[in-house]
Amino acid sequence: MTEEYALENGFKPKAYLRDYLYVAQDTNNQFLLSQPTSF
């Protein structure tokens, strides 16, 4: 949900996602074999 929608409906954010990245062991032939995203 967007921050704007949350604030309009009385929700307060507990955290903000500032950045993310994709994790892979071997990007040539085993893409995303490990945890798909890392926060």
Whole-number pLDDT of residue 17 = 80
CA distances from 14 to 7, 17, 32 (A): 12, 10, 29
pLDDT of residue 11: 92
pLDDT at 9: 94
C-alpha–C-alpha distance, residues 34 and 27, integer Å: 11
Task: Give the residue carrying structure tokens 């604030």.
Answer: 7
Model pTM score:
0.37
Of 18, 34, 15, 35, give the one whose Cα is nearest residue 26: 34
Q: Per-residue pLDDT for the chain (39 aa), expressed as one digit of tens each?
A: 888 898 999 998 888 888 877 666 666 665 555 555 545
pLDDT at res. 16: 81
Q: What is the DSSP string of 1-39?
A: --HHHHHHTT---S------EE--SBTTTBTT-S-SEE-
